[in-house]
A and B are shown apart, each in its own frame.
Chain A
Amino acid sequence: MNIKNKNIDLEYYISLTFILSLGLFFIILAAPNKNLQLILVFLTTFFYILFGIVHHLINHDFNMRVMIQYIIIGALGLTVIFFFLKGGLGF
């Protein structure tokens, strides 16, 4: 990996951290409205997948396998939250 790519990665990780933090902030703000919190969880996951794909496109190493990996990890996160809401809180 060259210096240019390292800088792109750093910018990307800062952006991703910012987006995830923003998502968490709005989820806190939306309490106690669980429906709104759930929508925000979906949005945060969507932006995580989108940013991952954009990052790989910028790095010119995007392929189907990368996209599927992001989608599956995103789905895993969503189902963990579903498991907690449905099984734990009875939502």
Chain B
Amino acid sequence: MKDFLHHFFIPRESNNYKARLLHQTTLLFFIAFFIIGGLLLNLTENKYPSVLGISTDITSEQLLTLLNQKRQENGLSVLSFSPELATAARNKANDMLLKNYWAHSSPDGKTPWDFLKDAGYNYVYAGENLARGFNTSEDVTNAWMESPTHRANVLSSNYSDVGFAVVVGSLGGEETVLVVQEFGNRSLAALPQPSEVSVSASSNNSNEISVDQKIAASPNKSVKSSSGIIPLSGVKNTPLVDSIRLTTNIGVFIVSLFILAFVLEIIILKRRRIVNFAEHNPDHILFLASVLLIIIILRRGVIM
């Protein structure tokens, strides 16, 4: 076993001073492994979603708790859950999926404030935060808190109410979880400048995505609160195996093995003063390190 591992990772006479892992046939084997593996996992995900899939746990209940927790930590009053704002948020999320856009304003010019008015919420101050591609309520809240403009909305003293929508749908060909957070205040007395309308500090950069669309409405339910019936939305999916974690772990492990083998080759061949391609191994190390970073970038959620 030890001899096999040495043969596999360490350049020596038995492998012609090139780790077996870095031989072209081994590399081709891993290329085939990743192609076939990716297709098989995708097939399994589609056929057996309870076994393999993206693990997601985002609910408006959790989002409200986390939001108020952050506000209290910063000495601010808690926000009340508004059914009208929740309706506005849900309509906004559905509109994004129907018209296939990811922006504060729709391609036909509909602003977040129009959704608030349509839902019967006459605001004095209002704001909107958006998120997509996150897997937990904590991740969404943390991402908003890390962005100065979104954080400003979360920690604004101008708002008294909040509403959320968590909707699953296909945007740009990608199945994703959209989270819409609408803030508002309709009380004139509580505000220093009642005539002003505070908009979300985020920009309205429209990202046009042109692929077919479908909407899978999130399971909505209602609960009784002190203020009456409030609609709750959320996405909770806990398959046996989380596909993102599985593919990330396998990908990162194998790419790291290759990086390690290239580094070992440089060190060992330099020590033994053997000239071969190892002097260009830094290229491959840099590229494979970039691949690891790309995986990290691709699995991140996006806020707006």
Least distance between A3 CB and chain B CB atoms (Å): 15
8 A Cβ contacts from B83-99 to A: none
Q: Out of B24, B46, B53, name the residue touching A68 (CB < 8 Å).
A: B24
- In Å, the complex CA distance between A55 and B132 comes to 41
25 A-B contact pairs sorted by A residue (CB < 8 Å) = A16-B286, A20-B286, A24-B297, A27-B294, A27-B298, A32-B102, A32-B171, A34-B172, A35-B211, A55-B280, A55-B283, A77-B290, A79-B30, A79-B34, A81-B295, A81-B298, A84-B247, A84-B251, A85-B38, A87-B243, A87-B247, A88-B54, A89-B174, A89-B243, A91-B174
Q: Which residues on the B side are within 8 Å of A84 (C-beta)? A: 38, 247-248, 251, 295, 298-299
- Mask: chain A, 73-91; 1 = CB below 8 Å from B; 0 = not: 1111101111111111111
Q: Which residues of B contact A (CB under 8 A)?
A: 24, 27-28, 30-31, 34-35, 37-42, 45-46, 53-54, 102, 132-133, 171-176, 207, 209, 211, 243-244, 246-248, 250-251, 254-255, 258, 277, 279-280, 282-284, 286-288, 290-291, 293-295, 297-300, 302
Number of A residues, CB within 8 Å of B: 48
Q: Which residues on the B side are within 8 Å of A76 (C-beta)? A: 27, 30-31, 34, 258, 288
Least distance between A90 CB and chain B CB atoms (Å): 5
